[in-house]
Chain A
Amino acid sequence: MPATPRKRARACARAGPRILAALLTLLPGVSALAYEVDSFEARAAAYVDDAACLECHEEYAASTTVHRDLEEFETAAVVTRGCQSCHGPGSLHVESNDPDDIRNPATADPVVANRACLQCHRADDVGAFEMSLHAAADVSCVSCHDIHGPQRGALLRSSQPDLCVSCHQDQRASMYLPSHHPVREGRMTCTDCHDPHGSTPSAASAGRPNDLCLSCHARHAGPFVFEHSPVIEDCTICHAPHGSVANSLLVQNEPFLCLQCHQAHFHATIPGIDGEFTSLDGYSAVSTHDASKRGFLTKCTQCHTEIHGSDLPSQSISGQGAALTR
């Protein structure tokens, strides 16, 4: 069975650079739409020595937070170092002691709070956070991260999955269904699959369909000689990733899942004898009048074992080898 590689035009390969070029052309126009967010920088405040901050906020003097001692190259040279890198220039606040005279990300508008973080973390993987569903829902960086905390883990306020399911309660319920990914057992985390910092199509997710699932379940990556088209289309047509009652995270049990798209097996309606029998090859079994239903309508994958795809042909010529039984 020789391969016949298709040498179709790589139009999409050329489209990418064209889109990026168009983006650069549009920038001056769309920039006029923007609204200036942070008014603190516009005030007449000036940066002061951090020691002035710690005179009152002595609880942070012994803090081990990594945010205290950053080098200039780490901050992309857009901010000063220390307390005021996030809180903005503090001279007015030092003079007045008025909380309104300094930026406080914990109580500020989420956009302002996030900007304080992203001015440095723009260069990280979290750079797309402002486009994320979390940001749109006014979940700010400090909702999940304890910025003054010690440099442990990702400065999360609590560990996964507790932190995530404190809001996503329906997913916590799914984790307790009989079939589930090992999240509540601590063998996986929510962020193994989800990117809390950005759900707009990113460089990673814009690749092959289902690539997120295949990054662990690589045995199903193929591409196979004999395909099962819903496997290619979307894993979630058949699987519920957060948990299900049916085995293997199936959205419903076999054969009902399969019968939504497929005909019941043609042997299933043929009546059987009531009694024991032995085949020519010496296999003995007991049949009943409705045994064909039990045999052919219990679990399709007992015979169609390679439901995710296979390179090996099935036995029947009339099925053209594509029945995914081998």
Chain B
Amino acid sequence: MRNHRGVRVLAVAAVALLGMSHPGTASGEDESASLEGTVSVGGYGASLDGVTGRVREYDVDREDLDPDLKLELFGWNDANRFDLRTEFRNETELDLDARLDAGKNVDVKFSHRSFYHSLDHDLLGNFGWRERVGVDSLGGDVGGGKMLTSEDTDPLAVYGVRVTDTKERLEMHVPVGTGTTFLAEYRNLSREGTRQVLGVDHCANCHVRGQTAVVDERMQQATLGLSTVLSEVKVGYRFSVRDFDNRAEAARNRFMQARHPVNGASGAEFASRLLYENETLEVSKTPNNLTRSHAVEVAVDLSGSQTVRGSYVRTDAENQSAGIKMETNAATLAWQARLARAVRASASLTRRELQNDSWELDLPNWREGRPGGGQDFDWTRLSAYDREEYLGSARLVWASRPGRNLRLDYALHSTDRDHVLLDPDDDSATRTVQHTVRATWSERIAKATRSRLSAEYEHTSLPFVSVRGICEEAGSDVFMPIDGGQPSDWIYYFQRERIGTGASLPTKAVRLKGNLTHGFGARASVSAYANAAFEKNDDLNLYDFERTVIAPGFSALLMPSDEFVFATGVAHSRIKSNAKLCVTVMDG
């Protein structure tokens, strides 16, 4: 983390030095210096009944009346300016934004936000099941082997984290040449509090246990950049490092001893199906990770309002706990120009390649040493990240007169994944190709009325799906019943193979949007809009996935003064989608 501290020290030192070099800012020696500000004193409170967690997701869960104090200051003289805005509500909620434009060379920004984020607490009330294996002579239930139980070890706990986000940005305009800028940024985002961790084990019976865990996470990001303008060419470079540090001790869950859930026998048989049992282990452990990124960007201004930009980015990400490393390389080329008085065009193409480490898993054999057992379940996890992508776009804008604008967009997204199956019948079908065309019409119908309509059609071949994710087929058994020789060794393990492809992404989509706004002077307006989408995937082997979205809305705005804004609106959203749900068969 020395890099991060270095950036922070640099930013703080720059501010301090500039403060010394421009004493007039604070002392008011300069006759042209001015200072103006606003202090607002108010209160904030809420009263809610029932389950308030979702309603107050970003409020401290209490009903006290908190103060709401705001201070805004703005000062300037010939050479310097500063801007300060702060809002204090309670010990958890504080906002502060400050900016110092010191002299001609330095622009410093600082922002700090902290707020409370309420987290869910699941009381696990839906668990409680014992298998019925038959009916006795009196018609009563006969309980069998499988059971489902749960416990919440801290039922009165209130979970939440305090999120603190601090950003510093130092921009130095180097008075050498033209347009040369040095940039340093630092960000510290932390989450501190408690959360619920659920642990599940199925040794003797399925048991879900909820417990309280500490959250103590910190993400730091530092960026250094340098850019300059050489005639019509802008060249820039940025290096960024992002470090996620999970400082909380991982929660631990007690995994029960493996045995028959009814009579407690057959411990070895049940243990032979599990990776671990009868021990306490860490659960829900978030690993530390580190991301480094280098970006080079070149922009060239050509004659006649024409620009070409190119960039290259290399990103290295690492799971520091497991040692998994991933590399991303991306290059972009983009162009825009005005082709005629009323016609503009732009196009871009990005190529991106990701390579992530694979991971070999050396597992115990299934039912090792047991009759009919010994199957090898070792495997190599090949990453779903591994891929080559092309993202292309082309845009043509025709502005026939002021206020009228027709825009035609085309987008291409091609993704060739190395290890994700997209077609159950063709292992070589790994490339998703998506074409999107969109037409948008903007029109100022009258002096105070403007409208916009857009229609989009999207076609995707081999979209991302879940191959063999749903629905079993008779006769495709993975394991057959195994005769162990003795009644106590008989193993019934019968699970059919899934054969269906599930999806939530369409192959064909039509999306329509429209809105109409009428202004009443500069301080009042009414608007209406409607969005609709009709999406379908008819390339699946068991069903057609469909999704329909209808979302109209209306809003009104009245702004009698800059300080008083009245806004109201009504929005309706209806989303309907389907899925294939098959009755499952399993006996084990």
Q: Do A203 and B579 touch across chains, with their CB atoms under 8 A apart?
A: no
Residues of A within 8 A of B138 (CB): none
Residue pair A273, B399 in contact (C-beta under 8 Å): no
**Cβ-defined contact, A233 with B464, below 8 A:** yes
- Bound-state CA distance A280–B223 (Å) is 57
Is there an interface contact between B302 and A229, defined as CB atoms closer than 8 Å? no
Check A224–B329 contact: CB distance below 8 A: no
Contact (Cβ within 8 A) A151 B76: yes
**3 pairs of A and B residues whose beta carbons are closest in the complex:** A34-B304, A173-B571, A266-B586
**A317 close to B275 (CB less than 8 A):** yes
Cβ A206 vs Cβ B197 within 8 A: no
B340 at the interface (CB under 8 A from A): yes
Q: Are A16 and B329 in contact (CB under 8 A)?
A: yes
Interface size class of B (residues with CB under 8 A): 35 or more
Can you list 12 A-B contacts (CB < 8 A)? Answer: A12-B329, A12-B351, A35-B341, A35-B343, A74-B173, A170-B531, A223-B317, A264-B582, A268-B584, A272-B129, A294-B126, A315-B202
**Chain B at the A interface: SS class:** strand
Q: How many chain A residues have a CB neighbour from B under 8 Å?
A: 159
* Residue from the list B124, B338, B527 in contact with A302, Cβ < 8 A: B124
A234 to B385, CA, bound (A): 11
- Known pairs A273-B142, A315-B255 / 16 extra A-B pairs, C-beta < 8 Å: A19-B310, A138-B399, A169-B529, A207-B330, A216-B189, A225-B322, A260-B503, A266-B495, A281-B207, A285-B128, A285-B150, A292-B131, A295-B128, A299-B126, A313-B363, A317-B274
Asked whether A315 lies within 8 Å of B201 as measured between CB atoms, the reply is yes
Kindly count the residue-residue contacts between A and B in the assembled complex, taking CB atoms under 8 Å apart. Answer: 531
Contacting B at CB under 8 A, from A34-75, are 34-37, 64, 66, 69-75
B405 contacts the other chain (Cβ, under 8 Å)? yes
A311 touches B285 (CB 8 A): yes
CB of B470 within 8 A of CB of A295, answer no
**Is residue B170 contacting chain A, with contact meaning CB distance below 8 A?**
no
Query: B6 within 8 Å of A by Cβ?
Result: no
The contact string, 1 if C-beta is below 8 Å from chain B, for chain A 301-320, is 01101100011111111101
Cβ of B78 within 8 Å of any chain A Cβ, yes or no, is yes
B503 touches A20 (CB 8 A): no
- A35–B104 touching, CB < 8 Å: no
B330 contacts across to A, CB distance below 8 A: 12, 16, 206-207
Residues of chain B contacted by A213 (CB below 8 angstroms): none
Complex Cα–Cα for A207 and B146 (A): 48
Report the Cα distance A30→B333, complex, angstroms.
14
**Residues of B contacting A36 in the complex (Cβ-Cβ under 8 angstroms):** 303-305
Bound together, the chains give a CA A184 to CA B441 distance in angstroms of 30
> Which of B10-18, B21-29, B174-182, B480-488 is the contact stretch?
B174-182
- Any chain B CB within 8 A of the CB of A5? yes
- In the bound complex, how far is the Cα of B463 from the Cα of A237, in angstroms? 12
- Give chain A residues whose Cβ lies under 8 Å from the Cβ of B573: 173
Kindly name the residue among A12, A22, A178, A303 whose own CB sees the greatest number of chain B CB atoms within 10 A.
Answer: A12
- B63 part of interface (Cβ distance < 8 Å): no
- Shortest Cβ distance from residue B249 to the other chain A in the assembled complex, whole angstroms: 15
Q: Which residues of B lie under 8 Å from residue A289 when comparing CB positions?
A: 132
A206, B311: Cβ atoms under 8 Å? yes
User: From residue 1 to 42 of chain A, which have CB atoms closer than 8 A to chain B?
Assistant: 1-6, 8, 10-13, 15-17, 19-20, 22-23, 26-27, 30-31, 33-37
B205 A283 Cβ-Cβ under 8 A: yes
B204 within 8 A of A: yes
Residues on B with beta carbons closer than 8 Å to the beta carbon of A257: 504
Picked from A66, A173, A277, A325, the residue with its CB within 8 Å of the CB of B200 is A325
A128 within 8 A of B: yes
Tell me if A's interface is mostly helix, strand, loop or mixed: loop
B582 cross-chain contacts in A, Cβ below 8 A: 263-264
B581 in the interface, Cβ–Cβ < 8 Å?
yes
B47 within 8 A of A: no
Which residue of B has the minimal Cβ distance to A209? B354
Contact present for A16 and B132 (CB under 8 Å): no
Cβ–Cβ contact A206 & B332, under 8 A: yes
Q: Which residues of B contact A26 (CB under 8 A)?
A: 308
Q: How far, in angstroms, from A261 to B351 measured CA to CA in the complex?
A: 29
Chain A residues, Cβ within 8 Å of B407: 136-137
Is A82 positioned at the interface, with any CB of B under 8 Å from its CB?
no
What is the chain A residue whose CB lies nearest that of B350? A201
A225 to B268, CA, bound (A): 28
Tell me, yes or no, whether A148 is within 8 Å of chain B by CB.
Answer: no
Query: A208 with B354: in contact, given A30-B337, A153-B83, A172-B555 (CB under 8 Å)?
Result: yes
Alpha-carbon distance between A26 and B253 when the two chains are bound, in angstroms: 62
**A270 engages B146 (CB within 8 Å):** yes
Interface centre among A131, A185, A252, A316, by most chain B C-beta atoms within 10 angstroms, is: A131
